[in-house]
Every structure is written in C-alpha cells, then in structure tokens.
Amino acid sequence: MLSPEFLTPDRVRVDVEASSRKDALQSLSILLASGPGSLTAGEIFALLDQRERLGSTCLGNGVAVPHGRDPSLEQPVAAILRFTDPVDFDAGEDTAISVAVGLMLPEKEGGDLSTVVDALRMADSAIALRTASTPDAAVEAVQASLASAAPKDVEG
C-alpha cells in the first residue's frame, strides 16, 4: 500500500520545458531528490538514465515512468513533470511523452512499481495527468488512478 506521502504537490511541476530525455530526467531527479531518501539529484539521474538505457519506460498515451531504487527508502517516492511540449524519449516511433512520473523505490522488491504502472497505463489516467493544470490536480489524478486500479473486495 502506498503512503499518502508517496506523491505531494511540492514534487510536481506543470508546464515544464524540456528539450530532450536527458533534460527531462535531470529535472525529475531534482524533484525526487527533494523528497525522502539519501541519494543526490546526480545519483538519481544516473539511476534513471541507466534504467532508460535498458529499455524505455514509456507506457503509451504520452506517459513515461522512469524509476530507480534507493536503499535508504522504506516507501516509494514519486515526482511528476507535465511538459508544455511533448519530449522525445528516444524509444522509437511515437514515444514522445507529455508526462513523466518519476519513482524512487525501496531496495526490496515489491509490487509498488507494477501498481503505479498499471494505474497510469489506463487511458483515463493519462488524460487526467496531461490536462492537470496544477500540482494538486496532478496529485489528485494519480490518487484517483491508483484507487480505480486497486482490486475491489468482493463480498460473497
């Protein structure tokens, strides 16, 4: 279960200019470094860039989820950039993104990454993020996506 501090408005920027994937990852790294964790923005950038080189984190619908692991974290931490113009994420055809959701995850393996990816992969989630005009609206869009993607308890 993701804690409420997983994503806060202070780690969200809307109407960001980025000229490249590298530029986007550097900006995302700065935001992620402002949250809990022990890594610097430079160390986070190296992790995000290394992960992107393994394979694109583009989910489709204009959203990418660059991510890495920080051994000092107990809970995942997220940051969001919504770009004024789509950014080419160097992953082949049609991979320009409008929104980057950066994640730093605890060292221990868990389902948090797949939970976030599954929630953000939904078309409604991508639309909500691409149209969020404030940091608060972006946080609300992610929370709503996570809630709608969560398995529902079935009473029998």
Residue 95: which residues within 8 A CB-CB, separation 6 or more? 56, 58, 88, 89
Q: Which whole-number Å values give the CA distances from 77 to 68, 91, 102, 140, in the listed order?
A: 10, 25, 8, 16
Residue 53: which residues within 8 A CB-CB, separation 6 or more? none
56 has catalytic annotation: no
Residue of 67, 83, 98, 100 with catalytic role = 67
Say which residue the tokens 């940091």 belong to: 135
- The catalytic residue positions are 67
